[in-house]
Every structure is written in C-alpha cells, then in structure tokens.
C-alpha cells in the first residue's frame, strides 16, 4: 500500500529546482515562463510551484 502512495505523489518544484533540471535553463527564464503562463504552475504565497511531470512534458513538446 505504501508503494501506491509514492506512485501517486505529486512533485512540485520551485523555480530554482525546475531550472536545475535542464542544463542551460536559467531561473530567470523559468520565472518568465510562469509569469507569461507558458508553464502550468500554482502560487504558494509569493512562490511559484511547478508540477514536475507537467513541466518535463512541456519541455519535451508534449501537448497532453
């Protein structure tokens, strides 16, 4: 049962963590992508949180 919980766990990244996933992608650019609604994100106070799975799909050019 604990295995199922980890499979369904949603991983959210900060701007810094998202930028670190891709070589050459800066924190500034990730922030601009959030501000311009180019990547799906939520606001937690003043912080942008980005869904890791959706972010990686976006970078691969997948639309769904």
Q: For residue range 8-37, what is the model confidence (pLDDT) as tens digits?
A: 899 999 999 999 999 999 999 999 999 999
Cα 18 from Cα 10, distance rounded (Å): 14
Q: In Å, what is the CA distance from 24 to each residue of 3, 28, 49, 50, 63? A: 34, 11, 20, 18, 22
Answer whether residue 53 shows pLDDT above 70.
Answer: yes
- Supply the pTM of this predicted model: 0.79
- Per-residue b/e over 38-49, b at no fewer than 16 CB within 10 Å? ebebeeeeeebb
48, β-bridge pairs: 43
Answer whether residue 61 shows pLDDT above 80.
Answer: yes
């Amino acid at each position: 049962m604990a295995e199922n919980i980890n499979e369904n766990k949603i991983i959210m990244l900060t701007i810094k963590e998202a930028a670190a996933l891709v070589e050459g992608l800066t924190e500034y650019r990730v922030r601009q992508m959030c501000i311009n609604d180019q990547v799906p994100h939520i606001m937690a106070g003043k912080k942008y949180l980005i869904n890791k799975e959706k972010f990686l799909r976006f970078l691969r050019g997948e639309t769904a």
